[in-house]
């Protein structure tokens, strides 16, 4: 009678594990030391968003095609953003607007990254990275970060669907 509850819990557990992998990779010191990403709240958000987008894209591929896990992973991100904002003192009144902006930012970036990754050369991808990750400034590390994104996309594509649905996701070294 309550089988749906067990399924939901399994999806949430998987989503939390996948999101944990996203955050762990986004905190990799090499992004900040060697790739020129600002070690600020904005820089960290950009790297979490970038890795979340890559993860969600992979979770949407036909061989995985588990919309529950994909949705739960995005919801885990939203909950994390809310918790993080509360930790830094954002009050109850502006909180929903700020969380909505953070979630909307992932959507906007997702469209930009997908379009740029679909192109053969990296000029568009570097432009999008300069716009978002490097906060509107042209950064000499953008080509290396673009190459990393392509490697990460290929790495995620090679991960077995069962591995992903078991909550195991990895990324290449930055």
Give the 3-state secondary structure percentages of the chain, helix then strand then coil, rounded to 5: 70, 0, 30
- pLDDT at residue 83, as a whole number: 76
Whole-prediction pTM: 0.91
Collect the ranges in the chain with pLDDT lower than 70: 1-8, 90, 92, 95
User: CA-to-CA distance for 145 and 9, rounded, in angstroms?
Assistant: 35
- Model confidence over 105-136: pLDDT tens digits? 899 999 999 999 999 899 999 999 999 999 99
What's residue 7's pLDDT?
54
Cβ contact 107:53 at 8 Å: no
Q: Which of 41, 66, 55, 54 has its CA nearest to residue 125?
A: 54
Domain boundaries, the chain: 10-165
């Amino acid at each position: 009678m309550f089988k749906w509850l067990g399924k939901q819990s399994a999806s949430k557990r998987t989503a939390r594990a996948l999101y944990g992998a996203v955050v762990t990779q986004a905190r990799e010191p090499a992004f900040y030391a060697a790739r020129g990403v600002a070690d600020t709240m904005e820089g960290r958000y950009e790297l979490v968003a970038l890795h979340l987008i890559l993860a969600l894209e992979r979770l949407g591929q036909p061989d995985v095609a588990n919309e529950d896990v994909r949705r739960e992973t995005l919801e885990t991100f939203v909950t994390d953003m809310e918790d993080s904002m509360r930790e830094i003192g954002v009050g109850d009144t502006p909180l929903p607007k700020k969380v909505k902006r953070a979630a909307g930012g992932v959507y906007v970036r997702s469209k930009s990254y997908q379009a740029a990754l679909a192109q053969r050369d990296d000029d568009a991808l570097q432009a999008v990275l300069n716009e978002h990750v490097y906060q509107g400034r042209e950064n000499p590390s953008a080509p290396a970060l673009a190459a990393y994104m392509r490697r990460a996309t290929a790495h995620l594509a090679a991960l077995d669907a069962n591995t992903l649905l078991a909550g195991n996701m990895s990324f290449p070294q930055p």
